[in-house]
Amino acid sequence: MKARAKVLVAGLAAAVAAIASAQQPAPPPPSFAAPNVSEQGARSMAATCAACHGTGGRSASGSSVPGLAGRPAESTVEAMKAFKDGKREATLMHQIAKAYSDAEIAALAAYFAKQPQ
Amino acid sequence: MSMQRRDFLKAGAAGFAVSLAGCAAMPGAAPKARVAVVGGGYGGATAAKYIRMLDPTIEVVLIEPNEAFVSCPISNLVLGGFKSMADITTPYTGLARHGVRVVRDTATAIDLERKQVRLARGDPVGFDRVVVSPGIDFMWEAMPALGSLDAQARLLHAWKAGPQTLQLRRALEAMPDGGVYVLAVPEAPYRCPPGPYERACQVAAYFKAAKGRSKVLLLDANPDVTSKGPLFKRAWSELYKDIIEYRPNSKAVDVDFRASVVKLDFGDVRGDVLNVLPPMKAGNIAAPFITANRRWCEVDWQTYESKAAKGVHVLGDSLQIAPLMPKSATMANGHGKVCAAAIVALINNEPPNPSPTLINTCYSMVSGKHAVHVASVHKYDERDRTMKAVPGSGGVSPAMSEIEGNYTMNWARNIWADTLG
């Protein structure tokens, strides 16, 4: 009984919150800093890939997640664009790839191509 | 470009000389600067390693009380019986190969006037810049019964992987079949948003295999599952029907050890094994740098320099999060790299990267084999000076899968190597 009353209260609160948010003007679109595609910028972007693909794109031996180090730039660009356009099936790379512009993808691919395997 | 590469090679050679000579005596050339890093978790260890990778002429001293790194991610699988403590433990020796000096001690204070980290046992460590990455500590004051150190030590949270992880596993093993395991989740924000729901799955998987009449009771202070809600709820109904009971809006306000009871706003809940997560805040050593809600530390997202003190950089779960940024291992690892690059730039009188990015990839194992994920990409917003998720990117799994279970373990191996290897 008590639990039910709490559920009702929570439902009411959620409804009020939904109405309040519907009345708020949409937030302005983000104003992201210009993509940094310099050598330093590409290195910084590439570092965010390492949690899954290994430091410098060198994946742990036997890993089912492919390494990126030393991979030809065209091949990385092609894969990223296919993920981005939804042409290549993935578990999560299609969700990640959508965050990067063509220029950022090119800079990332060029950076990884130069890394030792 | 070739110039930069030559500089890098030169710097690498200098680093080699330092690491050879560093053990026996001070090398001929004094280091350019010294960075002290407090805390060897996903944030601190990553920052220490990457500073040395980017500029081996900077001396880095990492202060960490534990002998080895024990990962919070994957630690729920120890509770499920699918992994051992050894599987989630990595030594700190890998950092020495990068020339990071690891000092096994507890930082007791950061003295900004003398630019020293004071230690519980050893001599203070001087610094030019300090990285503070202590993870979380608990707000014991939120529960009256947790006023004494004895009571605090008795509380089984297992929210810092280590001895408590094993202690909780043993408590579950010792629990008679037909018993009730109670997990109390605090209001967000807390470390690892999906962690409690993954833990419920792992404990339920153990019960399903070993003691089928036992129950998992999930008391959530939040109005709903805070991360991957539909995916967890589907796993609960498909895999653990009649084992897991979920109660939203059920905030634990105290605990009674003698009666084995969790006290809620309305009524008590008895359990055989109590796993209560008190509300959390920035790790104690970061207390002087707390600026938000008396709990978290705010930073400049381009450099991770504290808004409270110059020359102090704060990382990881201690941070006041940016919108949609979870307190996760992948995030802390990402903070460590952006901060490392910024510190190297600042020490070399260069501008830090004006547009840092972060990726969050967070897997949860809903059984011994199946996982689900949430992923997001965050970029620096110049106008609001914060990190924002990139619209149109990111998302969650359509359903639990074995392939994501496999990717989870590969993520773990690669992030452990990236952080400590």
B240 vs B247: CA distance, rounded Å: 15
What is the least distance, in Å, from the CA of B390 to any CA of chain A? Answer: 6
Q: How far is B216 from chain A (nearest CA, A)?
A: 18
State yes or no: ipTM above 0.85: yes
Residue in chain B closest to A97 (alpha carbons) equals: B393
Q: Which of B357, B388, B413 to mutate to test the interface with A (most CBs of A within 10 A)?
A: B357
How far is residue B121's CA from residue B108's CA, in Å, rounded to a whole number?
10
Summarize pLDDT for A29-71 with one digit per residue, the tens.
999 999 889 998 999 999 999 999 999 999 998 889 999 999 9
* B211 phi, psi to nearest 5 deg: -150, 85
Q: Judging by beta carbons within 10 Å of its beta carbon (0-12, 13-18, 19+), is residue B129 exposed, middle or buried?
A: buried
Report the Cα A112 to chain-centroid distance in Å. 17
Whether the pLDDT of residue B6 is over 50: the answer is no
Asked if B395 contacts B375 with a C-beta cutoff of 8 angstroms, the reply is yes
Q: Do A51 and B330 touch (CB under 8 A)?
A: yes
DSSP H or E stretch at residue B263: strand B261-264
Q: Could A34 and B395 be called an inter-chain contact, meaning their C-beta atoms sit closer than 8 Å?
A: no
Grade residue A21 by pLDDT with cuts at 50, 70 and 90. Answer: low
Torsion of CA A99, A101, A106, A107, to 10 degrees: -80
Minimal C-alpha gap between B404 and chain A (Å)? 7
pLDDT at B320: 97
- Please state, in angstroms and rounded to a whole number, the distance separating the CA atoms of residues B266 and B273: 20
The pLDDT of residue A22 is 52
Question: B327 with B191: CB under 8 angstroms?
Answer: yes
Chosen from A7, A55, A100 to mutate, greatest number of chain B CBs within 10 A: A55
Residue B350: closest C-alpha in chain A: A40
Mean pLDDT throughout B302-323? 97
> What was the pLDDT predicted at B30?
82
Mean pLDDT, residues A7-25 taken together: 52
* Edge-to-edge order in the sheet of strand B215-220: B244-247, B215-220, B180-185, B273-276
CB pairs below 8 Å between A and B: how many? 144
Contact A33 B380 (CB under 8 A): yes
